[in-house]
Amino acid sequence: MMAGGDLESDRSYCVLRGETISGETIDIRPIGLTNAMSQRNWSMVNATISNQSFKLSSIHPDNALLLKQVGGIEHLPQGARMPDLLTAWGMLYNDQQPISSPHRLKAIRIDMYRWSSGRYADYGTFITSWRKEL
Amino acid sequence: MNWVGRGSALSLGVARSIVHGTFLISALATSFSALGQLPVTILRPTGLMKLLPWSFYDRLLTPSGMAVFKTVMLLSLLLSTFGFLTSFSTRLSFVLVLFYQGLVRSFGHYNHDEMLAVYYLAVLAFTPCGDLFSLDHWTKRKQANQPGFAYGYPILLMQLLMAWLYFSSALVKLRVAGLKYLSPDNFPVLAIYHSLDNLHDTNFKLAFWLPQIRQLLPVMVGLVIFWELLFPLAVFWRRSRWWILGFGVLFHLMTLFFMNLFFPYQLAMYLIFVDWEKVAGWINRPPQHLYDTQLHAVGKGQAQRAPAGNHDSRVKV
């Protein structure tokens, strides 16, 4: 923020979406799920995508185990813990819906897009998605 | 030293209620149990929080663990807001809020909105902020018997902290980006970037209109930097204070509508600049009709209004 914006640089961003039991795809705003993370939900997602919690001097034992299983951080896929975050958000969303509601989610996903550089257009080039069945 | 002497036990007590009350209201409206459902495996403990073992976070970051934490924090903030056992409760609230702020930062990023208010908690924890405007005072546990300096310097310190925050923000922008910060694309690019996702708290789309007026934006950004550099005047020159704070309110509303970034804590802390002694004077002034009756009763031609701002002797006989 202090360095200011630069039109030449690529920027990526994410959209949280849910797939309902009735077959709809809906946008979900995480502030309605984890309001303690007010003004920070976006940076939490960015840190999860770049596996920041695996780059600490002392990492969580479960993360250490995962690193051992995949053979080191260089083999770790992007967003290795994203399914855990999506599960938490999916459960919180479903807890807010009545049991019989058609708006309950059967899956939740994060879609990642890129705003290509150079001009004020083409904001939504799709890059990748993380999806979790609930 | 005159600036320090302007504070009072009442102003410091009200400041305590505002700062602690802001965190109290925020905590009341926050779901801690939802926070406890986030996976601990994405946590990145920051600063001193790295010293705590993972087993501690495994226990804390559960819906029940966070519910207990919320209960303790609410109780402490309730006591400190209303000024009961003030010396103890302000310090406990400071420690608990500091830890909580560290926890949410360990999931996200170093958001600076709440930091000024956290510094204020630190200032209040070690000053006699419960001597007036507190349950401790009303139950005669505490009296305002310190010299004026003891109540004045914490207020001055809090105002200086805010002034430094804005002033240094301008310096950092100029140091990191230099005159590039005044580029016509700086503001629209940042604003659009923060308006593309649905992960921000709000989803205003005014940012997409900014490229149409990009040639005007260097002037607006320059004006903001100029305002940040001038902010210390709000502490030392009272006549400029409300202009500077008023611009601040406008600025933070702009960041909300154009960038989906808001600073509610920081705005709440503007109340530190209010002269609460004067406000108390206004509140205690009798209603106008009683005032007129009083004037009439004193006698024609014998009563005259006291000079404006002198609330202790409104009627001279």
Only one residue has tokens 């430094």, namely B164
Q: What pLDDT is attached to residue A4? A: 64
Higher pLDDT pick, B296 / B43: B43
**Taking CB atoms and an 8 Å limit, are A4 and B32 in contact across chains?**
no
Residue A13: is its pLDDT beyond 90? yes
Pair of tokens at residue B248: 């601040």
User: Which of B35, B172, B198 is nearest residue A36 as measured by Cβ atoms?
Assistant: B35
Yes or no, beta carbons of B104 and A40 under 8 Å apart: yes
Torsion, Cα of A71, A77, A79, A80 (10° steps): -40
Element holding A26 (H helix, E strand): strand A25-27
Report whether pLDDT(B33) > 50. yes
In this prediction, residues A73-97 reach a mean pLDDT of 97
Q: Lowest-pLDDT range, B94-108, B149-163, B299-313?
A: B299-313
**Position B304 pLDDT exceeds 50:** no
d(CA A38, CA A94) in angstroms, rounded, equals 20
Per the listing, tokens 């951080």 go with A73
The band of A30, judged by pLDDT with boundaries at 50, 70 and 90, is: very high
pLDDT classification of A9: cutoffs 50, 70, 90: confident
Amino acid at A4: G
Angle in degrees, 0-180, between the axes of helices B115-125 and B9-28, rounded to the nearest 10: 130
Question: A55 and A73 in contact (C-beta within 8 Å)?
Answer: yes
**Interface mutation vs chain A, best among B195, B199, B260, B266, most A CBs within 10 Å:** B199
Per-residue pLDDT at B308 exceeds 50 = no
For residue B300, is pLDDT > 60? Answer: no
Contact between chains at B183 and A4 (C-beta distance less than 8 A): yes
| Distance between B249 CA and the closest CA of chain A, angstroms | 18
Element (H, E) at B96: helix B86-107
Report the pLDDT averaged over residues B205-216: 95
Paired sense of beta strands B304-305 and B315-316, if any:
antiparallel
| pLDDT(B148) > 90 | no
Task: Say what the pLDDT of residue B109 is.
Answer: 82
* Angle of CA points B87, B78, B109, to nearest 5°: 95
The answer to whether A112 faces chain B, any CB pair under 8 Å, is no
Average pLDDT, chain B: 89
The answer to whether B114 and B94 are in contact (CB under 8 A) is no
pLDDT at position B214 is: 92
Chain A residues 26-55 with a CB less than 8 Å from chain B: 27-31, 33-45, 47-48, 52-53
A14 phi/psi in degrees, rounded to 5: -130, 150
Q: What is the pLDDT of residue B313?
A: 30
Q: What is the pLDDT of residue B178?
A: 87
Asked if residue B314 has pLDDT above 50, the reply is: no
Give the pLDDT score at A6: 75
Residue A14: its H or E element: strand A11-20
- The whole-angstrom distance between A22's CA and the closest CA on chain B is 22
- DSSP category for residue A25: E
- B286 pLDDT tier (thresholds 50, 70, 90): confident
Tell whether the model's pLDDT for residue B244 goes beyond 50. Answer: yes
| Long-range pairs of B221-228 with CB within 8 A, sequence gap ≥ 24 | B221/B181, B221/B182, B221/B186, B221/B187, B222/B182, B224/B251, B225/B170, B225/B173, B225/B174, B225/B181, B227/B166, B227/B251, B228/B166, B228/B167, B228/B169, B228/B170
Of the ranges B100-104, B221-225, B282-286, which one carries the lowest mean pLDDT score?
A: B282-286
For B299, the 3-state DSSP assignment is coil
Both tokens assigned to B7: 């504070």
| Cβ atoms A68, A8 nearer than 8 A | no
Lowest model confidence (mean pLDDT) among A2-6, B33-37, B165-169: A2-6
Which amino acid is located at B293 in the chain? T
Q: Is the dihedral of CA B20, B25, B27, B28 positive or negative?
A: positive
% of residues, chain B, pLDDT over 70: 88
Residue B36, pLDDT > 50, answer yes
